[in-house]
């Protein structure tokens, strides 16, 4: 048998899950889709004494739309989101990013909350949720608190979640009219974590200029990296090929990725500029349909 | 020793009830407790795809799920594919020599089964993407893609009476 022995707990409600976490503290681990935790347990890199399985906890898997804003339960499966007509209609960035997360069999089980809580620096969903100005709700013994995605990710595999908190909901504000989005990445193989990826959200104002703009990268730092200066470069203008090329240059100069076994720092910087230009060009062209 | 749990589920349509330790993965459970050894284990961390089975109709890595979690579920394994002879996907793999050592084949078959249910006429590019999570170390990918195309055509012409459960 691969994992070390553990006690299995399957709370039926969120308060029950929270009180189990509070009681068992660092000895316990929440189990969502298991697509990151169970590999670590099989390799015994994680040896929780108690596993608190959220898969039988009620009220954590849902997609709700209220006036264009979305509320997504933490245990909503990646595959469910990918196929949801509501998500596809309101937020096509998510299915585009989700198609790049592992493989269908990974997304059958993997959850959005698990991906955010795990906070892999190369993961697609944290960058996408940050680019969408998402808000993350954590529920603990002292109740609920909500924080913006941008202050949720603190470092490699590290978030603002306290050890006794459950990530219960992700809220995405309604996008402005005429918004275009795009997620692009370069990976070694289809389904691998990104070497570099980018989530772009841009809106066209009624006067034809770009209003709202977000560019958030994955794979180039310990957390999702937002490049506000690139956003400022497009915002307020009618961006054209020259502006997109300027963004490419700025991104290449601004980002400071580390090199590793898979790609050198220089290569990542180069690719980040290119995917930024391409994704921005595509996202802007999509504002015509919004 | 952690407390054991009773697990009741159906495997290929048959009810199964066993007492298991929580740390037992569904893959080990199928192989050791249910004695269905068609589900293969390669990497045991979700990368290779050899252990892919269907859980309530969806493809999952059985190495990344504990058997206790499958309590009440419907599990489909490669042993459930064939009825009155090979399943059309298996036939196509056979005809196109889409296996060499055969180790990855059960996972390939289950993944292809899911693909063709969702997308009956995939392009070669789509087939390659769908199989990107199933690794064949004999690297016989061309023949596998050929077999999937042929299986898709056969299934469109004559869907099998009974699908895998
Ligand atoms: C072969 C393979 C390829 C993959 N490729 C990619 C990829 O390309 N891109 C990508 O982004 N991911 C990839 N993944 C990871 C996958 O997306 C995981 O599903 C995800 O990282 C974790 O989600 P989970 O629901 O499986 O969480 P789990 O594995 O169950 O949990 C992960 C961690 O988060 C904690 N946690 C989970 N849910 C909550 C919650 N609601 N509240 C608080 N804490 C929680 C757990 O305690 C654990 O520490 C891949 C995985 C595999 C096996």
- A221-252, pLDDT tens digit by residue? 999 999 999 999 999 999 999 999 999 999 99
pLDDT at B165: 47
pLDDT at A134: 98
Q: What is this model's ipTM?
A: 0.94
Q: What distance in Å separates the CA atoms of residue A10 and residue B22, rounded to the nearest whole number? A: 11
Distances (CA, A) of A133 to A66, A162, A194, A200: 16, 22, 21, 11
Contact flag B22-A38 (C-beta cutoff 8 Å): no
**Residue B125 sits at the chain A interface (C-beta within 8 Å):** no
Asked if CATH classification 3.30.43.10 holds for the domain at A7-53, the reply, yes or no, is yes
- Give the closest of A6, A35, A190 to B22, CB-based: A6
**Residue B16 sits at the chain A interface (C-beta within 8 Å):** no
Query: How many CA atoms are closer than 13 Å to the CA of A109, on its beta-carbon side?
Result: 29
Q: Which residues of A touch B104 (CB under 8 A)?
A: none
DSSP string, chain A: --SPP-EEE--SSHHHHHHHHHHHGGGEEEESS-TTHHHHHHTTS---SEEEEGGG-TT---EEEETTEEEEETT-BHHHHHH-HHHHHH-THHHHHHTTSS-HHHHTT-BHHHHHHHT-TT-HHHHHHHHTT-EEEEEETTEEEEEEHHHHEEETTEES--TT-EEEEEEEPPPPSSEEEEEEEE-SSTTSPPSEEEEEEEEE-TTSSEEEEEEEEESSSSS-EE-HHHHHHHTTS---HHHHHHHHHHHHHH--PPP-SS--HHHHHHHHHHHHHHHHHHHHHHTTT-
CATH number for region A63-172: 3.30.465.10
- Give the angle subtended at the CA of B127 by the CAs of B124 and B128, to the nearest 5°: 90
Ordered per-residue pLDDT tens for chain B, 165 residues: 578 999 999 999 999 999 999 999 999 999 999 999 999 999 999 999 999 999 999 999 999 999 999 999 999 999 999 988 999 999 999 999 999 999 999 999 999 999 999 999 999 999 999 999 999 999 889 999 999 999 999 999 988 765 544
**Residue B33 sits at the chain A interface (C-beta within 8 Å):** no
Contact flag B133-A35 (C-beta cutoff 8 Å): no
Strand-by-strand arrangement of the A28-31 sheet: A7-9, A50-53, A28-31
Low-confidence ranges of chain A (pLDDT < 50): 290
Ligand 1: centre distance to CA B162 (Å): 34
Task: Give the tokens for residue A188.
Answer: 């070694």
A115 lines ligand 1 (CB under 6 A): yes
- Sign of the Cα torsion A107, A110, A112, A118 reads negative
pLDDT at B164: 47
Q: What distance in Å separates the CA atoms of residue A28 and residue A164, rounded to the nearest whole number? A: 9
**Domain extent listing, chain A:** 7-53, 63-172, 179-285
Contact A38, A55 (CB under 8 A): no
Q: What distance in Å separates the CA atoms of residue B133 and residue A141, rounded to the nearest whole number? A: 39
In B, minimum Cα distance to A7 occurs at: B2
Contact A11, A57 (CB under 8 A): yes
Q: What distance in Å separates the CA atoms of residue B156 and residue A51, rounded to the nearest whole number? A: 44
Domains and CATH numbers, chain B: 5-79 (3.10.20.30), 88-157 (1.10.150.120)
Task: Give the tokens for residue A95.
Answer: 């299915």
Domains A63-172 and A179-285 share a fold: no
CATH number for region A179-285: 3.30.390.50
pTM: 0.96
**Residue B95 sits at the chain A interface (C-beta within 8 Å):** no
Q: Which residues of A touch B58 (CB under 8 A)?
A: 79, 108
């Amino acid at each position: 048998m691969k994992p070390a022995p553990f006690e299995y707990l399957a709370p039926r409600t969120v308060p029950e899950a929270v009180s189990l976490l509070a009681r068992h503290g660092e000895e316990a681990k929440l189990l969502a889709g298991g697509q990151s935790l169970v590999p670590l347990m099989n390799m015994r890199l994680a040896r929780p004494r108690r596993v608190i399985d959220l898969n039988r906890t009620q009220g954590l898997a849902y997609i709700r739309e209220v006036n264009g804003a979305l509320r997504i339960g933490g245990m909503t499966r990646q595959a469910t989101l990918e196929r949801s007509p509501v998500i596809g209609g309101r937020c096509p960035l998510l299915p585009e990013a989700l198609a790049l997360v592992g493989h269908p069999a990974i997304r059958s089980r993997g959850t959005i909350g698990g991906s955010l809580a795990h906070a892999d620096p190369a993961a697609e969903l944290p960058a996408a949720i940050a680019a969408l100005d998402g808000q993350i709700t954590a529920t603990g013994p002292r109740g609920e608190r909500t924080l913006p995605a941008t202050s949720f990710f603190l470092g490699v595999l590290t978030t603002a979640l306290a050890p006794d908190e459950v990530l219960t909901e992700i809220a995405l504000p309604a996008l402005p009219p005429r918004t275009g989005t795009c997620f692009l990445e370069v990976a070694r193989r289809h389904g691998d974590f990104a070497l570099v990826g980018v989530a772009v959200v841009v809106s066209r104002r009624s006067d034809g200029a770009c209003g709202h703009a977000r560019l958030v990268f994955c794979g180039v730092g310990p957390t999702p990296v937002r490049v506000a200066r690139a956003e400022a470069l497009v915002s307020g203008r009618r961006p054209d090929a020259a502006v997109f090329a300027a963004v490419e240059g700025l991104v290449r100069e601004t980002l400071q990725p580390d090199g590793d076994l898979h790609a050198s720092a220089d290569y990542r910087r180069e690719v980040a500029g290119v995917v930024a230009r391409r994704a921005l060009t595509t996202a802007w062209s999509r504002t015509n349909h919004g | 020793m952690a407390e054991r749990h009773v697990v009741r589920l159906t495997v290929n349509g048959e009810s199964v009830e066993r007492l298991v330790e929580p740390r037992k993965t569904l893959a080990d459970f199928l192989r050791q407790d249910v004695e269905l050894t068609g589900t293969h284990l390669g990497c045991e961390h979700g990368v290779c795809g050899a252990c892919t089975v269907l859980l309530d109709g969806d493809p999952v890595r059985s190495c990344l799920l504990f058997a206790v979690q499958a309590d009440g579920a419907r599990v489909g394994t490669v042993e459930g594919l064939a009825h009155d002879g090979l399943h059309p996907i298996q036939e196509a793999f056979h005809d196109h020599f889409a296996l060499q050592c055969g180790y990855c084949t059960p996972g390939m078959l289950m993944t292809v089964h899911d693909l063709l249910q969702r997308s009956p006429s995939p392009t070669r590019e789509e087939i390659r993407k769908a199989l990107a999570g199933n690794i064949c170390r004999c690297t016989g990918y061309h023949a596998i893609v050929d077999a999937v195309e042929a299986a898709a055509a056969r299934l469109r012409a004559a869907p099998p009476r009974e699908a895998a459960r």
